[in-house]
């Protein structure tokens, strides 16, 4: 940076194209290296976990994912490691979470982009930010000591009233403690609301002003404008946001481990205790050895594979939706 005055020395500096080029090259390689770190870590996760989980995959074969019995220390015979019950718990609790979180998140996103008076927008964003900032273990603590006991009478009432109805009655079966699939789903719903809200809000933000104005100019009410202009434009983005929420819910460990009840269980009864894949790992890892450890790592492999697939899909969908709206190429 000594070239402000053209001088012979400066001319020489400019002509010496090689000068300082080493710094440039070193710097660009170094930044590239840090960028590649992301790929390296993801690759290493896959390699190390699959390698360590292999004894369990080898012993169980495909039964690892189709067997519902999980018995690390049987009285007789070999240990059995079937992940089906835990996969079921993960799926059920995540679906309950989506059922509650998606309408609420889309509602909040609409509030922030279309409805909120200017002076309420800031506080509403703060609420969502704070909800995202609360550590999951605190939600778990609150869930197990406050929410679960408080929900028992609610569950009991629901069971008493709707328990006799065909089909629905099977979902609201007998109630034990408050630590159930349902409680886990509700706590998860609170935890994934911020992520779904923030992505949906970004997508709503890309809806062209002209489309919304056109709908309003044609005499549409605000809701008709939302239904006719905002939602159709944003459908892809909302799908992506929901998938991201699903990925988050499936991988959430601690809160679920505290409130889902810790039972190896496949039942339609949402008021029964169960367990999820992530929760089992953290509950049993400390006391495991040998093939048992390998089986828990195997659960991690399945979890990793599923969340990566879901996230790739979701990100691609969101990016396509946003790019299309901005008129660019995906």
Partner 1 sequence: MTLTAPPTFRPAGGGPDLTRAALSGRRRLTNHLATAAIWAAVLLAVVPLALVTYTVITRGGGVMSLSFLTEDIPNSYRRDGGGMAPAIVGTLLITGTAALMAIPLGVFGAIYLNEYGKQRPLARLIRLMADVMTGVPSIVMGLFVYLSWVLLVGAQTGFAGALALACLMLPVVIRSSEEMLRLVPEELRQASMALGARKWQTTLTVVLPAAISGITSGSLLAVARAAGETAPIIIVTGIVFSPNWNLFDGSNTALPAQIFRNASQPFDAAQDRAWGAALTLIVIVLGCTVLARLISRRFATKER
In the region spanning residues 150 to 189, those forming contacts with partner 1, defined by CB under 8 A, are none
Distance, in Å, from the CA atom of 169 to the CA atom of 269, rounded to the nearest integer, reads: 9
**Phi, psi (degrees; rounded to nearest 5) at 163:** -60, -30
- For partner 1, the closer of residues 140 and 159 by Cβ is 140
DSSP letter at 274? B
Give the ranges where the chain is alpha helix by DSSP (H).
8-15, 21-60, 63-66, 84-110, 118-133, 136-142, 148-162, 168-171, 181-205, 209-217, 222-225, 231-251, 254-259, 277-284, 290-326
Judged by CB under 8 A, the stretch of 67-75, 160-168, 217-225, 266-274 that binds partner 1 is: 217-225
Rounded least distance, CB 95 to partner 1, Å: 17
User: Which residue of 93, 94, 183, 193 would you call a contact of partner 1, by CB under 8 A?
Assistant: 193
State which of positions 61-100 bind partner 1 (CB under 8 A): none
205 binds partner 1 (CB under 8 A): no
User: Which residue of 182, 297, 317, 321 would you call a contact of partner 1, by CB under 8 A?
Assistant: 297
Rounded least distance, CB 271 to partner 1, Å: 20
CB contact set of 173 (below 8 Å; sequence gap of 6+):
159, 163, 267, 268, 269, 270, 271, 272
Distance, in Å, from the CA atom of 304 to the CA atom of 42, rounded to the nearest integer, reads: 10
Provide the 3-class DSSP secondary structure of residue 67: coil
253 binds partner 1 (CB under 8 A): yes
User: Which residue of 9, 12, 37, 161 would you call a contact of partner 1, by CB under 8 A?
Assistant: 37
Provide the 3-class DSSP secondary structure of residue 25: helix
Judge whether 109 and 197 are in contact, CB under 8 Å. yes
115 binds partner 1 (CB under 8 A): yes
User: Which residue of 59, 79, 84, 104 would you call a contact of partner 1, by CB under 8 A?
Assistant: 104
- For partner 1, the closer of residues 193 and 269 by Cβ is 193
300 binds partner 1 (CB under 8 A): yes
Distance, in Å, from the CA atom of 323 to the CA atom of 330, rounded to the nearest integer, reads: 5
241 binds partner 1 (CB under 8 A): no
224 binds partner 1 (CB under 8 A): yes
Rounded least distance, CB 123 to partner 1, Å: 9
**Phi, psi (degrees; rounded to nearest 5) at 290:** 55, -130
14 binds partner 1 (CB under 8 A): yes
190 binds partner 1 (CB under 8 A): yes
Judged by CB under 8 A, the stretch of 27-35, 57-65, 77-85, 157-165 that binds partner 1 is: 27-35
38 binds partner 1 (CB under 8 A): yes
9 binds partner 1 (CB under 8 A): no
């Amino acid at each position: 940076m000594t070239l402000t005055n053209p001088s012979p020395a400066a001319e020489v500096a400019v002509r010496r194209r090689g000068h300082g080029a080493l710094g440039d090259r070193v710097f660009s390689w170094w930044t590239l290296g840090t960028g590649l770190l992301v790929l390296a870590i993801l690759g290493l996760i896959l390699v190390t976990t699959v390698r360590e989980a292999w004894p369990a995959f080898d012993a169980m074969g495909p039964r690892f994912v189709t067997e519902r019995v999980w018995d690390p220390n049987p009285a007789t015979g070999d240990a059995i490691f079937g992940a089906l019950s835990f996969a079921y718990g993960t799926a059920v609790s995540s679906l309950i979470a989506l059922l509650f979180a998606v309408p609420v998140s889309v509602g909040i996103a609409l509030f922030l982009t279309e409805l909120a008076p200017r002076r309420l927008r800031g506080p509403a964003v703060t609420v969502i930010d704070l909800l995202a900032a609360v550590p999951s273990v605190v939600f778990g603590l609150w869930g197990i000591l406050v929410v679960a006991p408080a929900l028992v009478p609610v569950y009991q009432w629901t069971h008493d009233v709707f328990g006799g109805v065909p089909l629905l009655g099977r979902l609201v079966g007998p109630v034990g403690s408050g630590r159930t699939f349902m409680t886990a789903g509700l706590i998860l719903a609170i935890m994934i609301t911020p992520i779904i809200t923030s992505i949906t809000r970004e997508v709503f933000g890309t809806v062209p002003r002209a489309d919304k104005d056109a709908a309003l100019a044609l005499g549409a009410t605000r809701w008709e404008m939302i239904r006719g202009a905002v939602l159709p434009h944003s459908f892809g983005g909302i799908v992506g946001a929901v998938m991201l929420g699903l990925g988050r819910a499936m991988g959430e460990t601690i809160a679920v481990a505290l409130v889902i009840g810790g039972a190896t269980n496949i039942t339609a009864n949402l008021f029964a205790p169960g367990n999820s894949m992530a929760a089992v790992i953290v509950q049993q890892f400390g006391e495991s050895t040998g093939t048992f450890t390998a089986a828990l790592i195997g659960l991690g492999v399945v979890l990793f594979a599923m969340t990566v697939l879901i996230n790739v899909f979701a990100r691609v969908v969101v990016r396509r939706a946003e790019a299309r709206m901005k008129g660019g190429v995906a």
